[in-house]
Structure 1
Amino acid sequence: MAAVSRDYRFAAEPRAIDNRNSKYREYIEEIPPANIMHDRRVVRGNTYASMIIPASTQQEIERQQARERERMKKSKQPAQSTSIKEASPENRDLQQDSYPLIEEPKQEPLLEAHSDPVSNPTQTQVEFFIDRPPTPLFIPNEVGVDVDTQIEDGDLFQFDIEVDPILEVIVGKCLEHARMEVLEEYEIELMRKHKRIFTQKRNAELIEVQRMEAEFIRREQEDNRRKLQARTQRELKKAAHQKYICRISSKRLFSNIRFDVCKRLQDLGVFKNPQDTTMHDQFMPWLLESLQGNLVRQVTVSDILETVFKQTVRELSRQHNEAVTVEYARREQIRQEEIRKRKETEARKQKRNEMRAKRQAERERIALKNKIEEEILNTGNHVDGVTKQPLSDSDGRYNEHVICSPGGQIGELLLFLSSIEETLETELNQEQVTGYLINYITHGMNCPALVYGNLRQPAVEKLNELVQEGIPTEYEEIVRFYMEYLMNTENSVPRTSLTILWNNPESFGIRYGLVEAFLYAYFTIVFAKEDNVQMFSLKEKTVVKGLNWADTGREAAIVRIKIPMKREEHEDEEPSVVSEIPEDQLLDKILMVTPSNENFSVLVIHQIGQRFFRNEMMNWIKATKIIETIDYDRLKAVFLTKCMDFEEKIISIKADGLPEYEFEIN
């Protein structure tokens, strides 16, 4: 309900309610329905704000209250006598002489004066009505008996027969409408074509008219310009001719006249004037002497004033320069202070942004680590016999359980041969490399096969066909054939460790000739024939695996599966000592993982796999004693150094900037 003013009063007078026995209000037909929006007694307005009473309404209310107070005051005063006043002298003057003044007798007042008005207490009550509830809807009782009937299929109509005319009308109407639309589209296309031709003709005509108008304007302008040029030239010739005539006439007229006659007569003294003589002899000398004295005095005063002015200006300039210097210093100090505050603000903002970015990166790093542990490591497979499994290249495109290390087993073996060269300080020839490879496959390798996985599947099939057809027999030609074929970007898998190694082996400390000798020995075993019994017996232990990989982008992170650490707890408060588990206590068991899934891929490095395979090579070289004069400790140190450098360079090339996670899982 809208809020009302404190001066608001109900305008209707109260009256006693009728003695009605009915509980509900009857509807009166004689009273027409009224619109409540036009009732002055209804207070309208916003239900959440006070009603603003206009000034005119407030003034009317105040006037009513004043009239009410005046009425109450009069009702309390005693009633006065209503007798006729005696005629005063003023009234007598107004009377006519023929009618004498007659005094009326005094009468008693008709109303009795009371000090207190008579009042009787009574009660009243405004009408209170209860709305009558709506009359319920009259529903007559059902009369008669309900019956039903059964209509079988085909009793009322045959759909297939009676639908034919409807379909004929619908199909005919659709065809007719479609034909009308096609005709309409054809007519519209004709109209557009006619409009286009008409527009082209009109545009051509407009262009021609514009060209002719432009040509007419140019001709008219050229005509006016030529006429103006001719008229100007004619006026110039006329003026020049007149000058020439005037000059000739003047020369003829003044040819016999002497111009210096007056000057000669004046020089001779014929025109001598006494005033001029007085002027030159008396006045001019006096004037010159007076002027000279005045000039001397003026120069002296000017020098004095100039000295005073210079001193004043010099002092003011010095004060001004000092004030300017102080002001510049103050402004510079303010500017430096503002710069310092701005730099501090920017530094704080930058620090906050860096901290925010660092926290966000740390949160993302932790989330990615949990995701890798959940989706990659927890789905791995624990297997026994580390060296019995093939060692694959660290790449995020594998979709099977693998043991990963940069370069795989081929890269580890090539680094081991390079370490032998560096330890012996000599270069291995082709025969030595072939012998070491055959000896390693025969006596040192525990895995089922030495896998070369750096070629595409079509390239492997094509290489088999080329070998079947026949390849060069000379050593240099065979080596050149293998190197060109393996380094061809159409044949090799992009972005693998071996592809990077073949392109620039010297950057990893490996001799290029050693790479050629190793690949020649390996593929000689791969494509060995039955006549070479030794090579053919090792053919099953060398496999060239074709891959259908593409350069699908970088991995999401680097995952190092570290060797488990041993922690020694102390009884006192000293911190625990963390150290690697000794090699004799390592379990010959490893977690094989799948580096990629549907969401992301990672670059996996199995440190325990690297440890077992490198120990296998060292045990092989020691057990076979194929090189008796070599220092095994130095060989191991050089081998481990080369492997670490190769791993760092490969990771910097393939996964520079990626987050790195370490897991002690085995």
Structure 2
Amino acid sequence: MHFSLHDNKNPYRVYTYYSHPRPLENCKDGAKKCDYHFGVFDHIIPNISQTAARREEELRRRARTPEAVQGRKHMSIQTDVYIETLRDIPENTDITCQTDDIMDIPAQLVKPPKKMGQDVATRIMLGELFDFEEEVQPVLEILIGRTIEQSLLEVMEEEELVFVWAQFRAFQALRNSELAEVQRLREHERRHREEKQRRFIQLREAIMKEQETAEKIAARAFTREMLANLFPAIFTSLRRDGFFYDQTQQEIEKFFLPWLVTKINNNVDTRFIARRVMDDVIYRMVQDKFEAQ
């Protein structure tokens, strides 16, 4: 075993103090030495165990899982049995700490220390440190200056507001006049558009009427040309078939003669009935007379 400081890009060949040597299938270069940066390594130890060989042979012979059908795929599922603890309320632990109330108070001295040094006293007379008449002048100057400045600013603000309001009123007047002009132009445009549409409709109707008139004239001329030679033959055929007749004769034959025949029949029937009744009366009288004899 030895150490190497060379870099190796294949981490499968390297093992540390706490790992076992890699078998032959984990090393891609056969019995070549595996070196890695700051790693402990050795020659590759081939795995010649019969148990491992039999296991590999069994894995090769074992039937593999068939491929998934089209549109599906295989997924790994956990099927091991394990215990899972379900808790509705988590376990909590309370810890408290209490300190004494007077722990931060320093301990009192049993005996006060002795005074050291000499006592010195002085006296300040009235007006030596502060003179109100002199000290108040700068304050008054500042107050008066600020007051005058604020007053000037307020006056300038009022003048500016007056100017702004005048400008705003002028702008409003100009805006109102422009809005009125825009409204008038829109109304004019609307009337112009409506008039254009109305005239377009009228023109289209006039064109349609002209087309209809031309079509009617053409149809009439064509019909006249077509029927010019058919009229004599048609009238002759209709007259022969009885469609052309005398109206008076037709009325006499259809209305007067049937009515006259009906009246005559009614009159004849009345006379016939009267004759029958008379014959019955005469017959009964003769029979009664004959029976009486």
Shared fold per TM-score greater than 0.5: no
In the superposition, the TM-score normalised over structure 1's length comes to: 0.19
Greater strand content: 1
| Higher normalized contact order (CA 8 Å, seq sep 6+, divided by chain length) | 1
Structure with bigger gyration radius:
2
In the superposition, the TM-score normalised over structure 2's length comes to: 0.39
